[in-house]
């Protein structure tokens, strides 16, 4: 299957700081999604971004499909941003099922 | 907007018992996926259905089976439960193999 590597694995930020999370993948993809898993376990869709750039409030994401990586930017972080951020990808070879990275665990302190 | 519904949200079973998890996809979505997330792990794909037909299988144990019904809801049946089956089980749905939308999950605890 498609290999997905996320970095860094862990990140501690002070409230107000900015951060960049990276996702590398091993094959061309039809689907790339970023999720935030909150402390209650819910997987919240952040971006559907197989290519290009999108922004939603303090969050933005860029996928460079030809170079097989995606970046998630968090600006002016808040304590509610804490949790695990997953990158997941899919293509026709995977039956369009998502292959998840191991995630980046983010803790934002007051 | 309607979201993916899963029931129950929490389930406690003993070893060797059976469990049935239910999923109601977003209306007019043609594909349903099941994922299992163990403690501290990333979600792993189990099985998917496209227009009520099984379309792909991942790392689903033989003790598990699933189906999708005429009303498009799906059920994951788990038999001879083991302690290692304790996990968060997600159902997701999509249209035309696009963005997947996840339900809130069912947290299964096997004691």
pLDDT value of position A93: 86
Q: Are A72 and A85 in contact (CB under 8 A)?
A: yes
Task: Quote the minimal CA–CA distance from A75 to chain B in Å.
Answer: 24
pLDDT value of position A94: 83
* pLDDT confidence bin for B79, thresholds 50/70/90: very high
Which run of H or E residues covers position A47? strand A43-48
Average pLDDT, chain B: 96
Interface of B with A (CB under 8 A): 31, 33, 35, 37, 42-45, 48, 55-56, 58, 88, 90, 92, 94, 97-102, 104-105, 107
pLDDT value of position B25: 97
A91-105 pLDDT per residue, tens: 988 889 999 999 999
* Low pLDDT (below 50) residues in chain A: none
Q: Does the distance separating the beta carbons of A35 and B58 come in below 8 Å?
A: no
For residue A86, the tally of other CB atoms under 10 A from its CB is: 25
């Amino acid at each position: 299957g498609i290999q997905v590597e996320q970095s860094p694995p862990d990140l501690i930020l002070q409230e107000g700081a900015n951060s960049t999370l990276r996702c590398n993948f091993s094959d061309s993809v039809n689907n790339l999604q970023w999720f935030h898993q909150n402390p209650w376990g819910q997987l919240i869709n952040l971006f559907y971004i197989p290519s290009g750039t999108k922004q939603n409030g303090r969050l933005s994401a860029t996928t460079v499909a030809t170079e097989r990586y995606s970046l998630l930017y968090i600006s002016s972080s808040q304590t509610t941003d804490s949790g695990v951020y997953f990158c997941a990808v899919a293509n026709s070879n995977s039956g369009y099922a998502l292959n998840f990275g191991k995630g980046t665990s983010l803790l934002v302190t007051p | 907007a309607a979201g993916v519904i899963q029931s129950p949200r929490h389930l406690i079973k003993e070893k060797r018992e059976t469990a049935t998890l239910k999923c109601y996809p977003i209306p007019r979505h043609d594909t349903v996926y099941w994922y299992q997330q163990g403690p501290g792990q990333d979600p792993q794909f189990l099985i998917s259905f496209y227009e009520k037909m099984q379309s792909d299988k991942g790392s689903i144990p033989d003790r598990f089976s699933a189906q999708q019904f005429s009303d498009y809801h799906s059920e994951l049946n788990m038999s001879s439960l083991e302690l290692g089956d304790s996990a968060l089980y997600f159902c997701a749905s999509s249209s035309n193999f696009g963005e997947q939308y996840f339900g809130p999950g069912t947290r299964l605890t096997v004691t």
